């Protein structure tokens, strides 16, 4: 397992704690706010979010410092999420059905 989530807290978290958290928790709502533009491997990032999100979960993905069309292109390219709603600031997505 590889830490690919962003944020200072995730980078300081020991590997064993990260693995335990990922094993124990499946989340219903994921907020990715003001950070998506910094993710280098967006496909892996979005697939990791699928792994930790319940099948009925929702992802709110703020565009960050990139055009909305670019964020939308990255989500569509990943094949992991379906975009349900677009606003001027974020995408609301659900996991692609297996």
Instruction: Give the total number of structural domains in the chain.
Output: 1
Residue 19 within any structural domain of the chain: no
Residue 57 within any structural domain of the chain: yes
Residue 66 within any structural domain of the chain: yes
Residue 31 within any structural domain of the chain: yes
HEC readout, 20-85: HHHHHCCEEEEEECCCHHHCCCHHHHHHHHHHHEEEEEEEEEECCCCCHHHHHHHHHHHCCEEEEE
Question: Is the confidence at residue 13, as pLDDT, over 70?
Answer: no
Whether the model pTM is above 0.75: no
Question: Is the confidence at residue 6, as pLDDT, over 50?
Answer: no
Residue 62 within any structural domain of the chain: yes
Q: What percent of the chain has pLDDT over 70?
A: 73
Phi, psi angle pair for 39, to nearest 5°: -75, 125
According to DSSP, residue 93 is labeled: E
Residue 50 within any structural domain of the chain: yes
Residues spanned by the domain of 66: 26-95
Residue 17 within any structural domain of the chain: no
Residue 76 within any structural domain of the chain: yes
The CATH number of the domain holding residue 87 is: 3.30.110
pLDDT of residue 31: 87
pLDDT of residue 93: 97
Spatial distance between the Cα atoms of 10 and 17, rounded to a whole number of angstroms: 10
Beta-carbon neighbour count of residue 59 at 10 Å? 25
């Amino acid at each position: 397992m590889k830490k690919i989530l962003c944020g200072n807290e995730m980078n300081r978290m020991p590997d064993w704690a990260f693995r335990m958290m990922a094993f124990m928790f499946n989340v219903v709502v994921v907020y990715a706010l003001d950070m998506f533009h910094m993710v280098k491997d967006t496909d892996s990032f979005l697939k990791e979010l699928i792994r930790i999100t319940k099948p009925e979960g929702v992802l709110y993905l703020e565009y960050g410092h990139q055009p909305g069309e670019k964020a939308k292109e990255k989500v569509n390219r990943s094949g992991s999420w379906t975009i349900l709603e677009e606003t001027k600031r974020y995408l609301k997505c659900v996991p692609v059905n297996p």
